[in-house]
Structure 1
Amino acid sequence: MVSAEELPGAELTGFGTIGAAYNTSDKVDLLRDLSQTKGVGYSRKIDFGLDSNLGLQLDMRSVSSVISGAVQVVAKRDHAGITPDLTLAFIRYAGDDWAMRAGRVGFDVYPNADSRLIGYSYVWQRPPVEFFGPLIFSHFDGADLQFRHRSNAGEWRFKIYSGITNEKVEVTPTTPFFLLNHSRLHGGHIEFRHDPLSFRASYAELHMANENPALQSSLDQLRSPGISFLIQNAASVADKLQMRGKVFRFSAISATYERGPWLSEAMIGTTLTGNTFIPDYKAGFISVSYRKSKWTHYGVVSAIRPLAETETAMINPGAPPELVTGVNALNTQMLNQRAWQTSLTAGVRYDLNAQSNLKFQIDYVRSRNNLLHRRVQPDWNRNATLLSATYNFIF
């Protein structure tokens, strides 16, 4: 049997991360992103699955390299435990200054977004959680088209894409998953590069096709006949809770400066949802790193903030006690979903060789809400320190 490595025009490569993380607080699980259902802290003080993953990629190309393709499978911790996921599967047709892909492709609304699982490829232990963590999907089925224009003044890149998503999001540990299946996605970005600077502006829209099962009973109650006599703004709250039919709008601008041993990155973005369970928010970070020989030292400040106040249900006098209890629980849940968190990060990367590195990082996390957490205990003081180490490799 002929192996993939021996096939003409085919190459098998891979990447992986072996990591360990320790949370100083046992009152909350800290997550890497919203695809995870368990983190580190409450579930376990020391965790080996927060950042660990393994990926394999098969690249294929024609003799002229005009037509090529790739298939990538990544195993990492998500809603189903540590399971493999088909993250890429596309055919690419390219000319000198343009390329088109069709199939399953990465969602790169932010720089590094479609490569955030490849720990070897970036400076940090993990991309800043406040900025990248709320992204509720990483790939889509569809097509993208990219153009490039080069001149003495610099290089322009333009990209547009369209397709549908097919991933799952866990909202709470006790409710069914929220399916993004058949939700339509459209977007693009413009990028300008002229060493040592690059700038990028991105925009994307996700049209929600499904309802969140965690909200269905609340929506049914808020829309039940006569409920307006007990909850004066029931219709308005239900409209803002509803997921189906909403359009999530992602936008971001970024700048990168790289010269000699210095690398600086700054990004800021907004996500507008029109929804109170994944509310409107703004997020950003500034990262500075300095490389000397095999060592790279870096620091990051990242934050996420809500953009609007959450409308809570207003109960009229005389409402039954059981209704009051249920509505108060819903209001608390909605308020906790507002995204407010800041992280201060310091770390170091040591390059072992051309194919592997070690990273050590400390994150001081200060939070007010639960969007990026799970299993939050009532007596958590809203502060935590995360210590982590990883071995990252490519082959």
Structure 2
Amino acid sequence: MFVKINVSRYTTLLSFVAGLAITATATADSIDHRFSGFATLGIVVNDNPDLRFRRDVTQADGSYDDEIAWKTDSLIGVQWQSRWSDQFDTTVQLVAKERYNNNLNKAIEWAFVGYRPVDGLDVRVGRLGSDLFMLSEYRQVGYAFPWVRPPQEFYGFLSFYHFDGMDVNKRFDLRHGTLNIKLFYGNSDEDYPTADADTPGVNMDFDVAGISFKLEWDDWKFRYSYSHVDINNNVVEGLSAALTSATPLWPDANRLARDLSTQNKYIAYNEFGIGYDNNEWWAQAEATDLRSDSSLMPNSHHFYLSIGQRFGAVSVYGIGGYVSPKNDVPAIIPPAGYPSPVAEQLALLAYVTSASLEGVRLEQKSYGLGARWDFASKMALKLQVEKFDVEVDGSGLWVRNQPIGADIDRHPTVVSLAMDVLF
């Protein structure tokens, strides 16, 4: 099953949205409800025996060694939109898909009230889709983009789907297009696997604030956003405590504990995007600079570029991307000269620390070809073949079948087939 029922936290959120909607009906001239949905049925085959392919880092499993995986891209979403008046509307969206520690809390992607005091100004409160990147608010609606999935190097690590808070968007109508400026702020949390589905994961709680600028000008789209994420908890509390306790024997361990800790640390994204579409040729590219003051969130550059052409109902495209770290893997060397078993305990602590740093490091590039066939109204079939080059100490986007430090096959080929529908 995709989703387990666990409604305790978000009963309050849904009650809040419903309450505001009922209040809005007091002045409603006309009420309009619309139900819709989207779904993807996909299969993935990865020929690599050592690395399991996954859509993003919220998944704990995936295809490897020519195994067919259908949960990686398959999902179903339903949406209820209501217009209660000219000024008030509500939206609730639920998505069932493969994710670590699945529950109803995570399945509620949107649950918000929208308020439009004047034309061109929109305020939303509740659970909102994040607006950090070009595809953020519809990255799960496969029919809305040409590929089987958003590029892994860019969207695989940037797994921030939604937050609970508010945003304010101001639209400016220009002669040849529109400019949207949005401010947003809220809180969210996400569960991440540390290895595979059978290994305990971690939960990260964070506050996010940011601003985005989106300009649509004739056939062009331009975008810039800045997002600042404050992390509220330490996801490596046990390791930090072990390093701190080892400080009398290993003075540098205290610094490692501070650097590894995520509590009261930040992640900052600077994102640039550009798109072009004249109904025959299209192209899209995004670049992000990620900075953090926790060594568990390594500073990195992310980029992808895709170019395609339409031939009636059929589109063909090429896609390539990379992610590269800004820093080398630090050498974690325990002090020498201690007798057994202290020497072995310090060596084990050094290995776990090094494995933790290497396990989240990202360094890879890929290129691929794909085709999309819109064979019926609101239905599309997609085929995509990608070749990856993954550095041995940069496989953080994948689930490893081999321990950190072991030699691995670093050149996976991934073949994906998906059918997307709207309903």
State whether TM-score is above 0.5.
Answer: yes
Q: 1:151-300 counterparts in 2 under 5 A?
A: 151-152=174-175, 154-173=177-196, 175-181=199-205, 183-212=206-235, 215-224=236-245, 227-228=246-247, 230-300=249-319
State the partner residue of 2:32: 9
CA distance in 2, matches of 1:164, 1:82: 18
CA distance in 1, matches of 2:411, 2:329: 23
CA distance in 2, matches of 1:20, 1:154: 39
CA shift, 1:91, in A, is: 0.5
The residue matched to 1:110 in structure 2 has which SS? coil
CA shift, 1:352, in A, is: 1.5
**Which deviates more, 149-158 or 344-353?**
149-158
CA shift, 1:192, in A, is: 1.8
Asked whether the equivalents of residues 93 and 109 of structure 2 are also in contact (C-alpha less than 8 Å), the reply is yes
State the partner residue of 2:21: none
CA distance in 2, matches of 1:137, 1:294: 33
Amino acid at match of 1:80: N
CA distance in 2, matches of 1:138, 1:253: 18
State the partner residue of 2:6: none
CA shift, 1:8, in A, is: 4.7
State the partner residue of 2:60: 37
The residue matched to 2:421 in structure 1 has which SS? strand
Q: Does 1:371 align with 2:371?
A: no
State the partner residue of 2:5: none
CA shift, 1:81, in A, is: 5.6
Amino acid at match of 1:244: Q
The residue matched to 2:189 in structure 1 has which SS? coil
The match for 2:98 among 71, 77, 81 is 77
Q: Which runs of 5+ in 2 are unaligned?
A: 1-29
Q: Does 1:389 align with 2:417?
A: yes
CA shift, 1:375, in A, is: 3.0
The residue matched to 2:395 in structure 1 has which SS? coil
State the partner residue of 2:18: none
The residue matched to 1:88 in structure 2 has which SS? strand
Q: Does 1:136 align with 2:156?
A: no
For residues 47-81 of structure 1, the C-alpha deviation after alignment (integer angstroms, 9 at most, x for no partner) is 111100000000110243x2111101100000136
Asked whether the equivalents of residues 130 and 341 of structure 1 are also in contact (C-alpha less than 8 Å), the reply is yes
Q: Report the count of equivalent residues.
A: 382
State the partner residue of 2:119: 96
The residue matched to 1:328 in structure 2 has which SS? helix
Asked whether the equivalents of residues 20 and 49 of structure 1 are also in contact (C-alpha less than 8 Å), the reply is yes
Asked whether the equivalents of residues 176 and 218 of structure 2 are also in contact (C-alpha less than 8 Å), the reply is no
CA shift, 1:271, in A, is: 1.5
Asked whether the equivalents of residues 348 and 361 of structure 1 are also in contact (C-alpha less than 8 Å), the reply is yes
CA distance in 2, matches of 1:91, 1:81: 25
CA shift, 1:221, in A, is: 1.8
Q: Does 1:150 align with 2:173?
A: yes
State the partner residue of 1:47: 69
**Which deviates more, 366-375 or 327-336?**
327-336
Asked whether the equivalents of residues 387 and 414 of structure 2 are also in contact (C-alpha less than 8 Å), the reply is yes
Asked whether the equivalents of residues 240 and 274 of structure 1 are also in contact (C-alpha less than 8 Å), the reply is yes
CA distance in 2, matches of 1:307, 1:373: 20
Identity, % of aligned positions: 25
CA shift, 1:228, in A, is: 3.8
Asked whether the equivalents of residues 14 and 55 of structure 1 are also in contact (C-alpha less than 8 Å), the reply is yes
CA shift, 1:280, in A, is: 1.1
Q: Which runs of 5+ in 1 are unaligned?
A: 1-6
Asked whether the equivalents of residues 16 and 118 of structure 1 are also in contact (C-alpha less than 8 Å), the reply is yes
Q: Does 1:330 align with 2:359?
A: no
CA distance in 1, matches of 2:146, 2:283: 11
Amino acid at match of 1:12: F
The match for 2:379 among 356, 373, 376 is 356
For residues 157-185 of structure 1, the C-alpha deviation after alignment (integer angstroms, 9 at most, x for no partner) is 1001001003222233365332233x211
State the partner residue of 1:347: 370
CA distance in 1, matches of 2:178, 2:94: 32
The residue matched to 2:107 in structure 1 has which SS? strand
CA shift, 1:290, in A, is: 0.5
CA distance in 2, matches of 1:175, 1:318: 34
Asked whether the equivalents of residues 368 and 387 of structure 2 are also in contact (C-alpha less than 8 Å), the reply is yes
CA distance in 1, matches of 2:233, 2:90: 31
Asked whether the equivalents of residues 49 and 409 of structure 2 are also in contact (C-alpha less than 8 Å), the reply is no
Please report the TM-score for the alignment, with normalisation by the length of structure 1.
0.92
**Which deviates more, 232-241 or 81-90?**
81-90
Asked whether the equivalents of residues 266 and 294 of structure 2 are also in contact (C-alpha less than 8 Å), the reply is no
Q: Does 1:56 align with 2:78?
A: yes
Q: 1:276 to 1:172 in 2, by over 3 A?
A: farther
The match for 2:48 among 1, 20, 25 is 25
CA distance in 2, matches of 1:253, 1:126: 20
CA distance in 1, matches of 2:120, 2:237: 48
The match for 2:147 among 118, 124, 141 is 124
Q: 1:82 to 1:361 in 2, by over 3 A?
A: farther
Asked whether the equivalents of residues 101 and 191 of structure 2 are also in contact (C-alpha less than 8 Å), the reply is no
CA distance in 1, matches of 2:61, 2:133: 25
Asked whether the equivalents of residues 136 and 169 of structure 1 are also in contact (C-alpha less than 8 Å), the reply is no
For residues 222-273 of structure 1, the C-alpha deviation after alignment (integer angstroms, 9 at most, x for no partner) is 111xx34543421221111001110111110111111231111111001112
**Which deviates more, 371-380 or 90-99?**
371-380
